[in-house]
Amino acid sequence: MGPFAAFHACVREMHFMVTQITHDIATLSRRRWLAATAGLVLGLATFSTAKAADDTIKVGVLHSLSGTWPSAKPR
């Protein structure tokens, strides 16, 4: 291997390393971004659900909508 070939091999290796690092950083950033986005969406959903629940007062309605008079009655 001549000196040029060795130099090119070294450059390719460096380029590969830089590319790999960049890729790793990009992957990490994308993961972080996805995680952050998911967290944000989840947080907003939870917040809006809690807010919606907080904006209403639940009123229970307990009436028989089926059946006839009970066969066994309390005394």
Residues at the site binding another protein, with contacts judged by CB under 8 A:
54-75
Measured distance CA(48)–CA(35) in Å, rounded: 20
When the beta carbons of 29 and 46 are compared against another protein, the nearer one is 46
Residue 49 beta carbon to another protein: minimum distance, rounded to whole angstroms: 13
Smallest gap from Cβ 75 to another protein, in A, equals 6
- The CB-of-42 to another protein minimum distance in angstroms stands at 22
CA distances to 5, 21, 26, 41 from 18, rounded to whole Å, are: 20, 5, 12, 34
Task: Name residue, tokens 């009436």.
Answer: 63
